[in-house]
Amino acid sequence: MDARADCENTVLRRIGQGRADYRLRPDSFHDVTLADRQFYVCTGEYTQGGREMAEYFIRAYGDKVSVMFFGTIPSEDLERFRPRFESLAATLNFR
């Protein structure tokens, strides 16, 4: 699986859903290790009702399955949200 392509495809889907200003933060794509498992992270941004919003994605790929967690929050809350969301993703068990 190509995690970066998945993130870029999400942009196209969100624009198709009417979020014309949807974009990925240029420096947001990276990998992170949570509970000894490799995850891929990216963050989308857009405006909703005049408010800056962030959509935080965490993806993991196993041999037979891929999993994506995502949450949408006001941009100013992203840094507070991120650790709690990553803790949730770290509980993933592919077995």
pLDDT at 1: 67
**How many structural domains comprise the chain?**
1
pLDDT digits (tens, 9 = 90+) for 40-77: 999 999 999 999 999 999 998 888 888 888 999 999 99
Would residue 37 count as lying in a domain?
Answer: yes
Residue burial 4-26, b: 16+ Cβ < 10 Å; e: rest? eebbeebbeebeeeebeebebee
pLDDT at 66: 86
pLDDT at 61: 85
pLDDT at 90: 86
pLDDT digits (tens, 9 = 90+) for 83-93: 998 888 888 87
Would residue 94 count as lying in a domain?
Answer: no
CATH number at residue 52: 3.40.1000.10
Contact of 40 with 3, CB cutoff 8 Å: yes
